[in-house]
Amino acid sequence: MPAVKPAVLAILLAGVGAAIPAAQTAKVWTPDELFRRNIGTREDQDTAFPPHKIIGNLYYVGTRSLASFLVTTPQGHILINSDYERNVPTVRGSIEQLGFKYTDVKIVLGSHAHADHMEGDALVKQHTGATVMAMAEDVPALEKMMPGGKPHPIDKVLHDGDEVKLGGMTLVAHLTPGHTRGCTTWTFREQENGRSYEVLIIGSVGVNPGMKLVNNPDAPQIAEEFNRAFATLRKFRPDVPLGSHPGMYNMAEKYAKVGKGPNPYVDPAGYTAELDIVEGVFRSQLAQQQKQP
């Protein structure tokens, strides 16, 4: 083996030395930090983010911290996440700002049975007559979600692997439980510039502050459910990873790059990075709670 010149060796060693601190200083997230990143402030929750095209016939119509997506088709539209009931006028305004008819929303889907994602379902149905669909495991929680005393509409109960079809689009519901019992991740394909892209909207695998992962009376198998969710999500290789909160896929940063080069929402590496963050929080919290009496 030829000898390495001293100058070259110095450069190599310097590179190794630089890499070690970088790995050691990788951020370790806490549940509180992850929650704040996703939820934001009340202002973030209520302020419309500029509605815009993500890819193909998929558009963003949510707020700065609560994601809502519109899938448009010739036979009507699919709305994913109505958000809080107070957000419905904002979502409606974003849909109309894009040039689409709010009353053309035919199907309403959701990420999971928390108010910040699905509380507005009843009002959207009241306005549009849309069919509201939800994962079976989330039905009990949704039935308790009654803003203003309005019963939560559930027109069709979904199960893991079910397909939702409208106007040539097929969305697949994947049960990724833990965050809620029926937390749902959506996958579908979008076409742009002659290419096909796999889109995935993570329901959530976040461990909220105070969430019991051990001896949880309401969800005794919650740790196993989270494990199932991560195992399911790790099987996917989406081109366009999205989530129920914009912070889950760095929307603001990507939106700033729209129209300045390749579509910034095409980000396979970002999907793995987000899973690494949230699974790291889950593993850390589970280990801590398992050590407690």
pLDDT, tens only, 199-233 = 999 999 999 999 999 999 999 999 999 999 999 99
In whole angstroms, what is the distance from residue 167 CA to residue 258 CA? 27
> Is residue 228 in some structural domain?
yes
pLDDT band at 292 (very low <50, low <70, confident <90, very high): confident
Contacts of 162 (CB under 8 A, 6+ apart): 172, 173
Residue 23 belongs to a domain: no
Q: Residue 11: inside a domain, yes or no?
A: no
Edge-first strand listing for the sheet containing 195-202:
163-166, 169-175, 184-192, 195-202, 240-243
Measure CA 279 to chain center.
Answer: 14
Largest Cα–Cα distance in the chain?
A: 80
Domain-located, residue 22: no
Domain count, the chain: 1
Chain centroid offset of residue 134 CA: 16
Kindly tell me if the per-residue pLDDT of 17 is higher than 80.
no
Q: What is the DSSP letter of 50?
A: P
pLDDT of residue 25: 52
Within 8 A by CB and 6+ apart from 62, the residues are: 48, 49, 68, 69, 81, 83, 87, 91, 94, 246
- What's the N-to-C CA distance of the chain in angstroms? 58
Instruction: Say if 15 falls within a structural domain.
Output: no
Instruction: Tell me if 3 is assigned to some domain.
Output: no
Tokens of 267: 């980000």
Strand order in the sheet with 131-135: 52-55, 58-60, 69-73, 76-80, 105-109, 131-135, 156-158
Sign of CA dihedral 275, 276, 281, 287: positive
Domain-embedded: residue 131:
yes
Q: What digits encode the pLDDT tens for the residues 120-169? A: 999 999 999 999 999 999 999 999 999 999 999 999 999 999 999 999 99
Structure-token pair, residue 8: 């070259």
Of 135, 286, 174, 277, whose CA–CA distance to 222 is shortest? 286
Q: How confident is the model at residue 188 (pLDDT cuts 50, 70, 90)?
A: very high
183 and 118 Cβ atoms separated by less than 8 Å: no
User: Residue 14 domain-assigned?
Assistant: no
CATH number at residue 163: 3.60.15.10
Instruction: Note down the domain range covering 222.
Output: 29-291
pLDDT for residue 146: 96
Model pTM score:
0.90
Mean pLDDT, the chain, integer: 92
